[in-house]
Amino acid sequence: NAGVTQTPKFQVLKTGQSMTLQCAQDMNHEYMSWYRQDPGMGLRLIHYSVGAGITDQGEVPNGYNVSRSTTEDFPLRLLSAAPSQTSVYFCASSPQGGQGIETQYFGPGTRLLVL
């Protein structure tokens, strides 16, 4: 299994450009999430999904869209990039919860710089 994969690894955008960060997992996990990590801020949840066709907002959803058409893929779209979106983005997946001990597996991250 490849686990959780993310592309691209690095990206430089100009203000106002749009782009999609790709995330895929091959573990048949129900839950997938997108986080951003900024210095001193820890991981902040952007959007998450509890299954194909179901998404919900996290702590910092503004400026981002997601969709979940398949169990495997959970792309994150930046609609109009802003310098404040410069960050490291992590995608994560987890098996269905319910027993209190399920946890998340993270992709290697995408480093985004918005100029």
Partner 1 sequence: RKEVEQDPGPFNVPEGATVAFNCTYSNSASQSFFWYRQDCRKEPKLLMSVYSSGNEDGRFTAQLNRASQYISLLIRDSKLSDSATYLCAVNMGSGSWGKFQFGAGTQVVVTP
Residues that bind partner 1 (CB under 8 A): 31, 33, 35, 40-45, 48-50, 56, 58-59, 88, 90, 92, 94, 96-98, 100-109
Least Å distance, CB 84 to partner 1, is 18
Q: Give the C-alpha separation, 23 to 9, whole Å.
A: 11
Question: Residue 14 or 103: which CB sits closer to partner 1?
Answer: 103
C-alpha neighbours within 13 Å on the C-beta side of residue 101:
1
Q: Give the C-alpha separation, 78 to 85, whole Å.
A: 9
At residue 57, the 3 state secondary structure works out as strand
For 39-61, b where at least 16 C-beta lie within 10 A, e where not — what string?
eeeebebbbbbbebeebeebebb
Least Å distance, CB 81 to partner 1, is 21
Least Å distance, CB 50 to partner 1, is 5
Least Å distance, CB 101 to partner 1, is 5
